[in-house]
Structure 1
Amino acid sequence: MGWKRDREEIRQLMAARPDPEGKHGNESQEAQAVNAELDRKLRAQPVWRRGRFLYDD
């Protein structure tokens, strides 16, 4: 059940990003920390699962 917990944590991190679209160039410490954690969690997933998180509607 680890991947289900990871999936939920990734969704929460994606929702918590201060600048989700990256259009405003938000480089605050909070944004960097959230993006670093999100990147770490996504890299731990298989490639096909990463694509579903990034490109799923």
Structure 2
Amino acid sequence: MGWKQDRAEIKRLMAARPDPNGKHGDESQEARAVNDELDRKLKQQPAWRRARVLYEG
């Protein structure tokens, strides 16, 4: 999968998180599944891309 597809998938996963900012400590099975998939996708990217995804507006 190319970077554009990965970025679209990462953004979709970030939007799908039940607790987007982590302030509510949502540990439901759905939240864990989405966060695990998001972590897996982000770990596949170089560090500069991870930072870009996490910190871009």
Which interval holds the TM-score relative to the shorter structure?
Answer: over 0.9
Q: 1:22 corresponds to which residue? A: 22
Q: Which runs of 4+ in 1 moved over 2 A?
A: none
Q: 2:33 corresponds to which residue? A: 33
Q: Which stretches in structure 1 are left out of the alignment for 5+ residues? A: none
Q: Which stretches in structure 2 are left out of the alignment for 5+ residues? A: none
Question: Normalising by structure 2, what TM-score?
Answer: 0.95
Residue-by-residue CA offset, 1:1-57 (whole Å, 9 max, x unaligned) = 611110100000000000001000100000000000000000000110000111111
Question: Normalising by structure 1, what TM-score?
Answer: 0.95
